[in-house]
Amino acid sequence: MAPDDIIKPNKPAANGNHVNRVSARLKEHIVEIISDSGEGAQKCGQSFGSIVARMGHGVWTVEIIPAEIRPPARSVAGASGNRIRIGEKRVTNGGNETDLVVAFNEQVLLGRVRSNELKQGCTILLESMWRDDPNLSIRSSYVETYKQLVAAGYRVYEIPMEEECHKHVTDSRRGKNMFALGMLCSCYSLDLQVARDQVALTFGKKSEKVINTNIELLEAGFAWAEANLDFRYEIPSSKTTEPQIVVNGNTALALGVLASGMEICAMYPITPATSASHYLSDAFEKVGGVVHQAEDEIAACAFAIGASYAGKCTVTITSGPGYSLKQEAIGLAVMGEIPLVVVNVMRGGPSTGQPTKTEQGDLMTTIFGSHGDAPKVVIAPGTIEECFYSVITARKIAETFNMVVVILSDANLATSQAPFTRPSFDEAWLAPPIDQSAVPAGAKPYDWDPKTGLARRFIPGQPGGMHTLTGLAHDVNSHVAYDPEINQQGMRARSLKLAALQKTLLPPTVFGDPTGDLLVIGWGSTKGAIEEAVEEFREEGKRISSLHLTFIQPMPPGIKEILAGFKKIITIENNWSDDPNDEIIDETNRRYSALAMLLRSRYLFDIDCWSECRGTPLKPNTVRRVILEALS
């Protein structure tokens, strides 16, 4: 935490006069860089994140994305940029409020202040050019905001970024971000050479001239901060011995697709899932493979099913509205027992909802979605690293059990970046070759094993395996059947496969002691925030533990025993649940969060829940507050 007392509020000294810089050692800090979209704050933030990672710090970066592609310049809702949390140890989530902001104008800054994303009294490095803007209303808006912020206790440094950049380039819209990057490198005592290397890498595809100009701006920002800023932070780093990769959750998913050996992805563009397919399209050019942009999500899902049916297990990647459209086709894959991997990068719902915001609102839809009983496997990666491995696991399960496997990621994981140990390729990840051997005489296409429900699948091309796969109720020969007994038999087989898979799963591990006063249960992207808060309580000697579920359907064995070890249990989720304190809410009408509902019905424990749908990633502080309330 910022030892605020050592840093005195100060205006930067005039250019050239070196100020006395007070250096503070921190365990962690959260930095934001924001601008109008198109001014390069995103690139600055990403580069800063990479430099920090290279220096051996723990880091978690999150994109700040305006809902519109080109919001008007200088608008409160238009903030675009990055939020970077730096720590001395591994960072598992975006953390709490921001400690230091670089803002290219005061309006985008106001947006962040109003959404309560900034820490009270945090440090602000603000572009000062607006003070002299020819437009009176801009001038006065700037001055007014500046005064308000200072009065509210923010430590605002006015910085002539535009003016300084003009010493190096004519168009400061290109380059101010690198100047800002240089300042940040100085503020956090980062190695300028590592920063230079990173800039060269960031602009690797551009000409040498472009790279050199950007490095020049980086150095200028660095030098300016060294000469004019009166503070500096040092965050200890712990160098890792293993190579790390730094990607966001969507890129991790796409890399997982490559690593799983899948070579077809059928999709239709939708935020926040699309970037996975963008990346995959590019990567497939090198490895071989096809991203098929279908005419809609129904077609994308049906296309994936056709390809899977023909022997190449296929993935379809989407988000809420697209996931809804796929439901009927998903039911077909369940009925026909066609392996299929579906990725749902969840966003705010219902309907078009909040396209760029994060939410965990699709769990029930995923488990129970598609009409009738349509058992499918549901897994939810809790970290960016798990996004990568979940695809490999999903493809394996899909093909072993001839099932639909849905991966639930969300906008939080999709747009966050954090380092994880570089995966080392294992040939066992890949799909086996398509079986084209002749089917033994007398073998049936749905010869369901009476114990596990599993049946060997016949793939087109296999002599002797001819049958017509159908979405209608069918018997072991895939003949349409209306016999009540046969329908019962098919339903049983498709359901038993979940139990068969469940038998292969290991009990989940409790974070903390196996018994205690409170167990917090979560799933998906909230893992880091929940564990961070729980860890803090444990350091304070509280008997609190947490449990994070990756397999949600089927749930692994051993959960009941874990639940039995705690006095109180609560789920914390990023979705809707009624507030029991609302006037007309009581036990007869209270709607619980999705995971709480599932756990309550399965284990018959009185599990409480707390959730919110604010579209922002869960903060450790929020978890802390909820836990304190739960304990009281």
Cis bond before residue 554 (omega within 30° of 0): yes
CB 338 within 8 Å of CB 301: no
Residue 226 beta carbon to other proteins: minimum distance, rounded to whole angstroms: 21
Using CB under 8 A as the binding rule, the residues of this chain from 479 to 518 that contact other proteins are 479-480
Residue 195 beta carbon to other proteins: minimum distance, rounded to whole angstroms: 11
Q: Which stretch binds other proteins (CB under 8 A): 105-113, 419-427, 546-554, 596-604?
A: 419-427
Residue 431 beta carbon to other proteins: minimum distance, rounded to whole angstroms: 8
Using CB under 8 A as the binding rule, the residues of this chain from 222 to 241 that contact other proteins are 239-241
Residue 454, both tokens: 């599993």
Residue position matching structure tokens 């159908």: 470
For helices 274-287 and 249-259, what crossing angle results, to 10°?
40
CA 496 vs CA 209, 325, 393, 499: distances in Å: 63, 27, 20, 5
Residue 324, both tokens: 């809804």
Residues 6+ apart with CB under 8 A from 90: 58
CB 124 within 8 Å of CB 109: yes
Residues 6+ apart with CB under 8 A from 504: none
Residue 201 beta carbon to other proteins: minimum distance, rounded to whole angstroms: 7
CB 550 within 8 Å of CB 382: yes
* Most distant pair of Cα atoms in the chain: their distance: 90
Using CB under 8 A as the binding rule, the residues of this chain from 41 to 80 that contact other proteins are 50, 53-56
Contact string 156-195 vs other proteins (x = CB under 8 A):
-----------------------------------x--x-
18 forms part of the interface with other proteins (CB under 8 A): no
369 forms part of the interface with other proteins (CB under 8 A): no
Residue 560, both tokens: 């009941």
| Of residues 123 and 260, the one with the C-beta less far from other proteins | 260
Q: Which stretch binds other proteins (CB under 8 A): 146-154, 405-413, 426-434, 449-457?
A: 426-434
| Number of chain positions touching other proteins (CB under 8 A) | 82
Contact string 447-466 vs other proteins (x = CB under 8 A):
-------------xxxxxxx
CA–CA separation, 189 vs 192, rounded Å? Answer: 9
For helices 208-228 and 192-202, what crossing angle results, to 10°?
150
Residue 237 beta carbon to other proteins: minimum distance, rounded to whole angstroms: 9
CA–CA separation, 225 vs 221, rounded Å? Answer: 6
468 forms part of the interface with other proteins (CB under 8 A): yes
The one-character DSSP state at 5 is G
Output phi, psi for 278, to 5 deg.
-55, -50
Residue 463 beta carbon to other proteins: minimum distance, rounded to whole angstroms: 5
153 forms part of the interface with other proteins (CB under 8 A): no
Using CB under 8 A as the binding rule, the residues of this chain from 246 to 305 that contact other proteins are 246-247, 251, 255, 258-259, 261, 263-264, 266, 283, 286-290, 292, 294-296, 298-300, 302-305
342 forms part of the interface with other proteins (CB under 8 A): no
| Element at 533 (helix H, strand E) | helix 527-539
Q: Which of 471, 516, 558, 565 binds other proteins (CB under 8 A)?
A: 471
307 forms part of the interface with other proteins (CB under 8 A): yes
476 forms part of the interface with other proteins (CB under 8 A): no
Contact string 310-339 vs other proteins (x = CB under 8 A):
xxx-x-------------xx-xx-------
395 forms part of the interface with other proteins (CB under 8 A): no
Residue 311 beta carbon to other proteins: minimum distance, rounded to whole angstroms: 6
CA–CA separation, 528 vs 613, rounded Å? Answer: 18
